[in-house]
Amino acid sequence: MAACSRTALLLCLAKTVASWTDASKPLTAEEVRNAFDGFKAFFRRDYADEDEEARRFSNFQATMETVRQHNSDEQRTWDMGLNQFSDMTDAEFESQVLMAPQKCSATGSTSYQMPSPTVPDSALEKKMDWRSYGVISEVKNQGSCGSCWAFSTAGCLEAHLAIKMRSTWKAPRLSEQQLVDCAQAFNNHGCNGGLPAQAFEYVRSAGGLSTEFHYPYKAKTLKCSFK
């Protein structure tokens, strides 16, 4: 990877990952080191000592190889990339980022039955990728907060707004934090879990969602401040 300015580091990393489509061709030591240096600069890594840096470099190499192997598969339907967790082991990620299993409305049993489709399969497109229309939001990070239900709800609403208004208006990013803080009366539990169906009921009752800009995400349950 060529030397990059701070503002161009993410683009450089993305281009580097995009070039990893031939796992049969090993990367040079310089390519690996440059990618790691770019990763450290972009995510502002400052390791305690040389031993820790060596461990993180080894973890990063393993992640790179996993990405390369996956992205070289011509039958893949999605691409892997690097992120802020790329210098961690799986065990570290599980202990530091993932959470214990939840017991809430989202994990209980339900008697709900999905209705039969009203449109026959023959009337549908064989393939539809809303990403090519700019409809799907970017990947977001919920942190160590059990708010996947809030992100699912906000993302769904963002997509539907984008579909409805895509010719004249760019859909805003909506506030997951509002759902985390304010939707408890609808059997949701902030960072301890919830369900999109119940979150939609809250949105209808509240009259909508604020934008992410006006009600930013904090990855913890706070007092509701939506007015």
* CATH assignment of 6-96, among 2.40.110.20, 3.20.20.220, 1.10.287.2250, 1.10.3470.10: 1.10.287.2250
- For 71-106, the pLDDT digits (tens) are 889 899 888 888 899 999 999 998 888 777 766 656
Looking at domain 129-206, which CATH architecture does it have? Alpha-Beta Complex (3.90)
Q: Residues of CATH 3.90.70.10 domain(s) within the chain? A: 129-206
Comparing C-alpha atoms, which of 40, 46, 37 is closest to residue 3? 37
Q: Which long-range contacts (CB under 8 A, 24 or more apart) does 132-141 make?
A: 133/162, 133/163, 133/166, 134/162, 134/166, 135/159, 135/162, 135/163, 135/166, 137/173, 140/176, 140/217
Tokens of 193: 């879990």
Whole-number Å distance between alpha carbons of 44 and 42 = 6
Return the pLDDT at 127: 83
Q: Residues of CATH 1.10.287.2250 domain(s) within the chain? A: 6-96
Would you say 4 and 12 are in contact if contact means Cβ atoms under 8 Å apart? yes
- For 4-40, the pLDDT digits (tens) are 555 566 556 666 666 666 667 788 889 889 889 989 9
Tokens of 59: 């973890």
Would the pLDDT of 152 be above 80? yes
Comparing C-alpha atoms, which of 227, 179, 175 is closest to residue 202? 179
Return the pLDDT at 2: 46
Return the pLDDT at 158: 93
Using CB atoms within 10 Å of the CB of residue 37, give its burial: 0 to 12 exposed, 13 to 18 middle, 19+ buried. Answer: middle
Would you say 179 and 86 are in contact if contact means Cβ atoms under 8 Å apart? no
Spell out the residues 6+ positions from residue 30 whose beta carbon is closer than 8 angstroms to its own. Answer: none
Number of helical (H) and strand (E) elements in the chain, helices listed first = 7, 0
| CA distance to 71, 135, 172, 200, per residue, from 84 (Å) | 19, 25, 25, 31
- For 60-71, the pLDDT digits (tens) are 999 999 998 898
What is the 3-state secondary structure of 56-123? HHHHHHHHHHHHHHHHCCCCCCCCCCCCCCCCCCHHHHHHHCCCCCCCCCCCCCCCCCCCCCCCCHHH
The pTM (predicted TM-score) of the whole model is 0.72
Tokens of 212: 């992410």
